[in-house]
Amino acid sequence: MKEPELTKIDINKIKIDNSNPNKMSEKQFASLKKSIKKFGNIVPLILDKNLKIADGEHRLLAYKELGLKIVPAYVLDIDDPDRRILRQVMNKLKGKHNIENDIEDFKRMMKDGIDISQMSELLAEDEKYFKDMLKLDEVEVEQYLILRESDKDNLPKNEYPKQIKLVLTEEQKAKLKTKFEGKKIYEIIDYFLITE
**Cα dihedral sign, 114-118-124-125:** positive
Which residue, 41, 43, 42, 48, is CA-closest to 63? 41
Q: From CA 69, how far away is CA 129, in angstroms rounded?
A: 36
CB 71 within 8 A of CB 9: yes
Query: Hey, which CATH number is domain 6-92, 3.30.2350.10, 1.10.3720.10, 2.40.30.10, 3.90.1530.10?
Result: 3.90.1530.10
Residues of the chain with CATH 3.90.1530.10: 6-92
Phi/psi at 90 (nearest 5 deg)? Answer: -65, -30
Q: From CA 192, how far away is CA 144, in angstroms rounded?
A: 7
CB 57 within 8 A of CB 128: no
**Helix, coil or strand: residue 63:** helix
CA angle in degrees (0–180, nearest 5) for 9-12-14: 65
Q: What is the pLDDT along the chain (196 residues), one digit of tens a residue?
A: 678 899 999 999 999 998 999 899 999 999 999 999 999 989 999 999 999 999 999 999 999 999 999 999 999 999 999 999 999 999 888 877 677 788 889 999 999 999 999 999 999 888 888 887 777 665 544 334 444 444 555 554 544 444 444 555 666 666 666 655 555 444 444 444 443 3
Specify the pTM: 0.67
